Amino acid sequence: MATKIPVTVITGFLGSGKTSLIRHLLQNNQGRRIAVLVNEFGELGIDGELLKSCQICPEDGEGDINTNIFELTNGCLCCTVQEEFYPMMQELIKRRDSIDCILIETSGLALPKPLVKAFRWQEIRNAATVDAVITVVDCAAVAAGTFASDLEAIAAQRQADDNLEHETPLQELFEDQLACADLVVLNKIDLVDAETKARVEELIKQELPRVVKIVESDAYSGHSQLDASILLGFQAAVEDNLDSRPSHHDTEEDHNHDEEITSTNLILDRTFDPEKLQQQLEKLAQQQEIYRIKGFVAVPNKSMRLVMQGVGTRFDKFYDRPWKPEEARQTRLVFIGRDLKSSEIESQLVAL
């Protein structure tokens, strides 16, 4: 164990706060040399760029590895383990003398278990081990009935909404991410009251097949209350005890995500008023089944780049860094959802 690189897999649904958690770890690394592997759903690499702007990571990729960010944008990591993950891990293993630990941020649509199984491959097993799987949960989203496991609540929603589907692959994905967890980060608790938070915690506990610690975080503290010692150093060797982590896909040779879930990218060479843009994005999220919106916005007369992120119709935004002199001040957005109408999204934003 001592000679292996510890790897922490950070999973969780779309918009739960995985990237913010990793930014916090990088900014509070306590001297650790951290490599980060980011699996994006969408080609623009928004999460990877957000991590590179954390003011800790050398963006030129040179010098000490205090951290290095590696992006995989060619598909969901649990579906492309052999094609994407294995070659990248081989490269990181070659640099093991300059790496203290590795963080893997899965896409919001990834199953953690197929990824962990890859650590049983001899070439990886001899050099790296899964220290822990951390599942980040958006408390407010679960409280709203999104991907929750409360059958009574789902039944009530079904009665209220004729268009509500039966249990979906997204529901199963949420359950699988919890079932594989060594630690659950209940995020965005500041967006709900104490009674609602307690109800969400009970829902989560129903999906945990064994005793797993649940720690809390709020949407605006930047995970400041979560010390690295809480998140790292489990020494769980997860790849050796997968039998205790049940999955809906255990009996399948392969698994398929919902084929209708897609992403669409939009790049516009123009600025936007943040409030007007958010109002339009909120309308789009109501008109189409959009799960997640994230990206960078150029704001008139602002030297800083605006980060805008939305889960459903709930949005947050902040300025992360100044625009670089040689950088095109573009507005770049990624939309993730079901049956997206890309042309309608673009035309409504262009019309602003």
What is the structure's pLDDT at 148? 42
| Residue 260, burial from CB neighbour count under 10 angstroms (0-12, 13-18, 19+) | exposed
What is the structure's pLDDT at 169? 64
Specify the DSSP class assigned to residue 80: S
Helix (H) or strand (E) holding 103: strand 101-105
What is the structure's pLDDT at 260? 58
Burial 273-306 (b: 16+ CB within 10 A, else e): ebeebbebbbebbeebebbbbbbbbbbeeeeebb
Mean pLDDT for each 10-residue chunk of the chain (352 residues)?
A: 84 86 87 86 61 56 55 60 74 88 86 88 92 94 66 47 46 88 94 93 90 87 72 94 82 53 86 95 90 90 92 84 92 87 93 90
What is the structure's pLDDT at 65? 42
CB within 8 Å of 116: residues ≥ 6 apart: 9, 130, 133, 180, 238, 239, 242, 245
Alpha carbons 170 and 25: distance in angstroms, whole number: 28
Alpha carbons 197 and 195: distance in angstroms, whole number: 5
What is the structure's pLDDT at 248? 77
Q: Provide the 3-class DSSP secondary structure of residue 99.
A: coil
Alpha carbons 34 and 77: distance in angstroms, whole number: 20
Q: Are strands 289-297 and 331-338 parallel, antiparallel or unpaired?
A: antiparallel
Torsion of the alpha carbons at 145, 147, 149 and 150, rounded to the nearest 10: 10
Q: Are strands 67-72 and 289-297 parallel, antiparallel or unpaired?
A: unpaired
Three-class secondary structure assignment of 280-324 = HHHHHHHHCEEEEEEEEECCCCCCEEEEEEEECCEEEEEEEEECC
